Amino acid sequence: MALPAETLSRIIQPPSLHQPVIGPCRIRTTIEDFQVEEIPAYQLSGAGEHAYLWIEKRGVSSPELVSRIIRTLGIPSKDVSLAGQKDRYAITRQYCSIPKRLAINVERLNSDEVTVISSTFHQNKLKTGHLKGNRFRLVLRSATGSFTTVEQQSVEARLNQLVESGLPNYFGPQRFGHGGNTVVDGLRFLKGKLPKDHWPENQSRTLRRLALSAVQSSIFNLVLSQRVAAGNAGLPQSGDVVIRKGGTKPYRYPDGAVTTDIVPAGPMPGPEMLAAGGDIEQMELAAMEKLGLRPQDFERYAKLTSGVRRKMLEFPSNVSVSLTDDGALEVCFDLSAGTYATTLLQEVASEVVDCGSQIAATSAESDFSSETGE
């Protein structure tokens, strides 16, 4: 099942909101060039039956981190929890929770790639989504030489603009697999056309979830790219579903309401998703039709595709830009959980070459992580 080239391009390489302020750049030239730190959703109490390990990993995916914890500490997989996934080709810091009674030998996890920085206790188990956001420190290297002070100032001005006006909350290309193959798998699976032995048995559940999520994400990107092209991605329209900038609950836009504190929310289809109305609903259905889908197709796997609304715009915070001694740009910013750093960079540079993704693509290791911290 092949996707039309134009549709696939719209999904994987959707249009940016702004013209770039610098030329082509490279990211993740080294592991040190891409650093991510989780911003937890709540403060830890220091007491309870769950141990929270604050872990730094270098060149290790989150699934591999979990596997190491299971093997080294002899812990059942159900007792190991992360709030979100983190990239492999990076230095990342994130929490992992395990039962307190099993935390005696956590120092055994320490290696050249993994360090348990600290541990504390809390009353509840860490769960996916227990995450406020991620703090990024990225080094951008010019593809043509060195950046200048003028370019540093231009990037800083653009980031401050995004703080105020927001950036398109696209899913990054890594969400969709090499050449969109994860999306194609998800479409075939939804239609019952994927062989039962397509995925390794021990990875089937994870890959099924990722493939179905890639389909939902494709529809979101198609809708958002159309809104960006129309110039109304941040302007609620009649029939829109919206979410407050600092909130999470979607609701139908009351026509004529003040729009300064709300943003449109695009579709991640499923039976529990709040439907849009009027022309907006028709546009979303048309995006689904481009993939040969109807709303009822998501009911078959309702537990995996329950449906949700995602903000079309997100707003970075704590931004800064500095020029390094070797002519690179060090860019720092915070993003809400689920927002891609590479999507932000597309609003800055004319082209972003992700050297880490190129390395991952040539590796034999399966890597299911993403930079969003989901």
Instruction: Tell whether the torsion through CA atoms of 330, 115, 353 and 333 is positive or negative.
Output: negative
- The Cα 225–Cα 60 span in angstroms is 33
Torsion of CA 261, 161, 85, 132, to 10 degrees: -40
How does strand 131-142 pair with strand 114-122?
A: unpaired
- Tens-binned pLDDT, residue by residue, of the chain (374 aa): 678 899 999 999 999 999 999 999 999 999 999 999 999 999 999 999 999 999 999 999 988 999 999 999 998 989 999 998 888 899 999 999 999 988 888 999 999 999 999 999 999 999 988 999 999 999 999 998 999 999 999 999 999 999 999 999 999 998 998 889 999 999 999 988 888 888 887 777 888 999 999 999 999 999 999 999 999 999 999 999 999 998 999 999 998 888 889 999 999 999 999 999 999 999 999 999 999 999 999 999 999 999 999 999 999 999 999 999 999 999 999 999 999 999 999 999 999 999 886 655 444 333 333 444 44
Q: What is the pLDDT of residue 371?
A: 47
Determine phi and psi for 31, rounding to 5 degrees: -60, -40
Q: What is the pLDDT of residue 7?
A: 94
Listed by start position, the domains of the chain span 42-128
Q: What is the pLDDT of residue 373?
A: 43
Instruction: Tell whether the torsion through CA atoms of 315, 320, 326 and 327 is positive or negative.
Output: positive
For residue 209, the tally of other CB atoms under 10 A from its CB is 16
How does strand 313-314 pair with strand 50-58?
A: unpaired
* From 33, 87, 240, 297, active-site residue: 87
Q: What is the pLDDT of residue 295?
A: 95
Task: Please give the single-letter amino acid code of residue 56.
Answer: E
* Cα dist from 346 to 24, 123, 229, whole Å: 10, 40, 15
Beta strands in 143-295 (DSSP E): 167-168, 241-244, 251-252, 262-268
Instruction: Tell whether the torsion through CA atoms of 202, 208, 214 and 217 is positive or negative.
Output: negative
For helices 181-190 and 204-230, angle between their N-to-C axes, nearest 10 degrees: 110
Beta strands in 143-172 (DSSP E): 167-168
Q: What is the pLDDT of residue 2?
A: 76
Determine phi and psi for 311, rounding to 5 degrees: -60, 135
Q: How many CA atoms lie within 13 A of 358 on its CB side?
A: 9
For helices 278-290 and 204-230, angle between their N-to-C axes, nearest 10 degrees: 130
Q: Which CATH class is domain 42-128?
A: alpha beta
- The Cα 143–Cα 121 span in angstroms is 46
Question: Are 212 and 285 contacting, i.e. CB atoms less than 8 angstroms apart?
Answer: no
Q: What is the pLDDT of residue 356?
A: 80
List, in sequence order, every residue forming a beta bridge with 243; answer none if it has no partner. 263
- The Cα 44–Cα 362 span in angstroms is 39
Q: What is the pLDDT of residue 360?
A: 52
Q: What is the pLDDT of residue 187?
A: 95
**3-class DSSP assignment, residue 362:** coil
- The DSSP secondary structure of 18-47, one letter per residue, reads S--SB--EEE-SSGGGEEEEEEESS---S-
Instruction: Establish whether 185 is a catalytic residue.
Output: no
